[in-house]
């Protein structure tokens, strides 16, 4: 596997992403031996509503996704190299819902390519679940062609400590097509998650929105490139992208690069990014009301992360929020433990000082 992996063009991209930021390289097996590994390796287990039917689990295939069923598409790589090449069509004026459930186990590689044609006036909702375990690699290429008045909504929920690389290109070919992406990533360990999101505004009055929130612990690393291409025909383009990150540990990193290629003159392309650690003043405020530090941290993390999941299907919201809540509580507790160690070291200093006084 490792020889083939080294040849994969994206593997090179992932390594380059790491090199650029000069990460001290720790072999994955060392990290697996560390005590956090067990917590980080908790697999994603969401109960899905009964009306989600499994789609054909073929390696290759084209099929129509439609309103009759909501599909669950699993792309699992337990070991070795798994390839998936799918083509979806969403007929004009229909609605389709898909859960795309991607799991990659330690040592496995998943290479998924997805093409989708979204007909005029059609809507496609995708819930993208990604869980790449430490030592696993997930490579995905998504290509969407959107006809006029179509709309695609992607809600992404990504966890794990592995490496993932997504290259997305959505081509808004018909007037008033819309592309919306909302992503929440809760990453730890040595996770390295790269997303290159490109939206091509090729027709008038199209809209695109990218909103990503990241909660990053351990030595995890998130890279997001939001590439907005506005062709000459893309007058009245309305596009906005935002990326907000909480860096819980000194080793966590995020980089967000907006890239704007604009050939029309009547366009709006907004972009913004923030990153920081948990607000200590807010934390103290909550504790001063009697909340213990774990609860206070969990509340602050949830208030940052959970609003992203608000667009999920009714039946999926509760399991998603529960899963995210559990993971955030764990991330908060790890942080409390680390800061308690710091404070008790300082407390000893204080006692000595008071002893002297």
Partner 1 sequence: MSSLLEISDLHAEVDGTPILKGLSLTLGAGEVHAVMGPNGSGKSTLAQVLSGREDYEVTAGSIRFDGVDLLDMEPEERAIAGLFLGFQYPVEIPGVSNLNLLKAALNARAKARGEEEPAAATLLGRVREAAASLNISNEMLKRGVNEGFSGGEKKRNEILQMLVLEPRLAVLDETDSGLDIDAIRVVSQGINSLRDPQRSVLLITHFQRLLDHITPDRVHILVDGAIQASGGPELAQELEAEGYARYAPQPA
Residues that bind partner 1 (CB under 8 A): 279-282, 284-293, 295-296, 299-300, 302-304, 306-307, 343, 346, 350, 353-354, 357
**280 or 314, CB closer to partner 1?**
280
**22 or 356, CB closer to partner 1?**
356
Burial class (CB in 10 A: 0-12, 13-18, 19+), 220: buried
**259 or 351, CB closer to partner 1?**
351
Q: Whole-angstrom distance between the N-terminal and C-terminal Cα of the chain?
A: 65
Question: At its nearest, how many Å lie between partner 1 and the CB of residue 293?
Answer: 7
**225 or 306, CB closer to partner 1?**
306
Q: How far apart are CA 186 and CA 160, in angstroms?
A: 7
Instruction: Tell me how far CA of residue 147 lies from CA of 96, 121, 252, in angstroms.
Output: 15, 7, 40
Question: At its nearest, how many Å lie between partner 1 and the CB of residue 308?
Answer: 11
| 84: Cβ contacts below 8 Å, ≥ 6 apart | 59, 60, 75, 110, 111, 112, 113, 114
**29 or 350, CB closer to partner 1?**
350
Instruction: Tell me how far CA of residue 74 lies from CA of 84, 90, 170, 298, in angstroms.
Output: 10, 19, 22, 31
Q: How far apart are CA 226 and CA 30, in angstroms?
A: 33
Q: How far apart are CA 61 and CA 194, in angstroms?
A: 26
Question: At its nearest, how many Å lie between partner 1 and the CB of residue 242?
Answer: 15
Question: At its nearest, how many Å lie between partner 1 and the CB of residue 349?
Answer: 8
Tokens of 10: 């994206």
Q: How far apart are CA 182 and CA 309, in angstroms?
A: 8
Question: At its nearest, how many Å lie between partner 1 and the CB of residue 295?
Answer: 6
Question: At its nearest, how many Å lie between partner 1 and the CB of residue 356?
Answer: 8
Question: At its nearest, how many Å lie between partner 1 and the CB of residue 144?
Answer: 31
**232 or 350, CB closer to partner 1?**
350
**2 or 288, CB closer to partner 1?**
288
Question: At its nearest, how many Å lie between partner 1 and the CB of residue 271?
Answer: 21
Q: How far apart are CA 15 and CA 33, in angstroms?
A: 22
* CA dihedral of 186, 187, 193, 196, whole degrees rounded to 10: 20
**157 or 304, CB closer to partner 1?**
304
């Amino acid at each position: 596997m490792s020889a083939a992996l080294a040849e994969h063009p994206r593997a090179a991209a992932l390594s380059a992403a790491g090199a650029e930021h000069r990460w001290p390289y720790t072999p994955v097996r060392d990290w697996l031996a560390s005590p956090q590994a067990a917590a980080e390796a908790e697999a994603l287990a969401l109960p899905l509503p009964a009306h989600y039917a499994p789609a054909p689990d073929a390696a290759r295939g084209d099929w129509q996704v439609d309103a009759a069923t909501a599909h669950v598409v699993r792309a699992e790589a337990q070991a070795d190299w798994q390839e998936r090449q799918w083509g979806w069509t969403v007929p004009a004026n229909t609605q389709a819902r898909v859960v795309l459930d991607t799991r990659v186990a330690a040592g496995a590689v998943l290479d998924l390519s997805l093409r989708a044609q979204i007909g005029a006036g059609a809507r496609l909702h995708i819930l993208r679940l990604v869980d790449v375990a430490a030592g696993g690699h997930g490579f995905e290429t998504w290509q969407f062609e959107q006809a006029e008045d179509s709309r695609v909504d992607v809600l992404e929920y990504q966890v794990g400590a592995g490496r993932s690389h997504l290259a997305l290109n959505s081509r808004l070919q018909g007037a008033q097509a819309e592309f919306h992406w909302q992503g929440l990533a809760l990453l730890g360990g040595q996770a390295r998650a790269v997303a290159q999101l490109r939206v091509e505004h090729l027709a008038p009055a199209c809209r695109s929105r990218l909103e990503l929130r990241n909660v990053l612990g351990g030595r995890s690393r998130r890279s997001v490139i939001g590439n907005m291409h506005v062709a000459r025909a893309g007058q009245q383009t309305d596009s906005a992208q935002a990326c907000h990150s909480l860096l819980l540990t000194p080793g966590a990193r995020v980089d967000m690069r907006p890239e704007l290629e604009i050939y029309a003159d009547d366009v709006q392309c907004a972009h913004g990014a923030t990153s920081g650690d948990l607000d200590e003043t807010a934390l103290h405020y909550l504790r001063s009301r009697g909340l213990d530090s774990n609860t206070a941290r969990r509340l602050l993390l949830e208030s940052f992360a959970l609003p992203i999941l608000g667009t999920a299907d009714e039946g999926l919201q509760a399991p998603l929020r529960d899963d995210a809540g559990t993971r955030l509580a764990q991330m908060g507790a790890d942080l409390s433990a680390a800061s308690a160690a710091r404070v008790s070291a300082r407390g000893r200093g204080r006692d000595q000082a008071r002893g002297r006084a």
